[in-house]
Amino acid sequence: MEMELGFGAGVQKIAVPDKNLMGVLTPNEVKRELVGEAEVRRALENPIGSPRLRDIVRPGEKIAVVTSDVTRPMPTYKVMPALLDELYAAGVRPEDVTLVFALGSHRAQTEEERRRLAGERAYAEIRCIDSDPDDFVHMGVTGRGTPVDIFTPVARADRRICLGNIEFHYFAGYSGGAKALMPGVSTRAAIQANHARMVEDTSRAGLIEGNGVRADIEEAGAVVGVDFIVNVVLDEHKEIIRAVAGDVTLAHRAGCAFLDTLYLKKLDRRADIVVVSQGGAPKDLNLYQTQKALDNAKHAVKKGGTVILVGSCREGYGERVFAQWLREAPDAHSLIERVERDFQLGGHKAAAIAMVLENAKVVLVSELDDDTVRGAFLTPARSAQEALDAALAEYGPEASVLVMPYGGSTLPVAKEE
């Protein structure tokens, strides 16, 4: 079978012998009724576990709407018109609403980026600002010892509304919900305290109950207080096909359940060889972002198998601490030992790659030079087909192959798990 995998602005072509192909993991078919802004309005009119937003807020209250920054695919500009209409219907004034882009530990955004994310209407009507990890209010400490240090305009607001897109997260289970606050508008120290739990066995994609990272996030959210959420689920073309609104926990769980029907892929068994793409630009701009596809693919490959990771990575490693940890590590396993004793944002993704390498070989098809690829403890290959041919030769004529064209979104779960 011949197929194409996203690779930067282009594709990588592969031909997999039919006898070896175990499957191609594409999103499941789901019933679609409303999409985009119309679906957001439907969700606002039918909140889950909560009154309508217009019945919660009051005129004169200061309202902080927290949303994602430029590193996330959240289409804030499609949500804000309906959200503003709902707020104005309650008598809220535009000058009392602030849209806060949750930077977490990411760089500040340009004015043009904020305008594009917010949409022309919101940018013209309300204040739109980036969060600042150095401007915070200490609001408490979680039972796990994580400081709840929240960006001042969010902490001081009378009402907090959290936006976000729901997708699988490799150690918090799912994105969305209270994650807009922790790590969204938290300090670097708070984020590191929370994310240090990524090495726990229960910190994995698709798991909420018993997940220590997610529990810590939601406890921090309870300390701060979330009055309402609007979360969306996007298809592979980044269109909103489901929106949920209302209670920070109940609405979020409903969104996670829908995500499972779309992107959770059940397998009878794991494969000898998994070929996975992040889906092309902009998701595979660097190795730091392309790692997301690798972390989903690890759930599909046999112990001792091979993951062929397809991603342009044309901008290199993509994050300073991530690159530093890779350069300083004598071997891959040392990265896991380091993150357990000295958790650092950026370094945590180097450790995540090392955790995959504990059980499988990883071949990277990218625009990086071979030495840079080997510096990340990965095996370089010039093309996906070259890598596949080499793996088939290694594992023999009966080798099983699984292909994941949308590796950053689809989450495989083997039957025995």
Burial class (CB in 10 A: 0-12, 13-18, 19+), 399: buried
Q: Looking at the structure, tell me whether residues 271 and 394 fall in a common domain.
A: yes
CATH of the domain at 363: 3.90.226.30
CATH of the domain at 133: 3.40.50.11440
pLDDT tens for each residue of 21-39: 999 999 999 988 999 999 9
Q: Which two tokens stand for residue 320?
A: 């300073």
Q: Looking at the structure, tell me whether residues 307 and 387 fall in a common domain.
A: yes
pLDDT of residue 333: 97
User: Does the residue 32 lie in any domain?
Assistant: no
Q: Looking at the structure, tell me whether residues 368 and 304 fall in a common domain.
A: yes
pLDDT of residue 416: 67
Helix (H, G, I), strand (E, B) or coil at 398: coil
Range with the poorest average pLDDT among 91-100, 105-114, 396-405: 105-114
pLDDT tens for each residue of 210-228: 999 999 999 999 999 999 9
pLDDT of residue 262: 94
pLDDT tens for each residue of 314-350: 999 999 999 999 999 999 999 999 998 888 888 999 9
pLDDT of residue 38: 98
Q: Looking at the structure, tell me whether residues 270 and 401 fall in a common domain.
A: yes
pLDDT tens for each residue of 116-157: 999 999 999 999 999 999 999 999 999 999 999 999 999 999
* Percent of the chain predicted with pLDDT > 70: 100
pLDDT of residue 119: 97
For residue 16, the enclosing domain spans 2-27+264-414
Q: Domain ends where: 174, 206, 226?
A: 226
The domain tally of the chain equals 2
* Averaged pLDDT score across all residues of the chain: 95
pLDDT of residue 341: 85
Range with the poorest average pLDDT among 35-39, 43-47, 106-110: 106-110
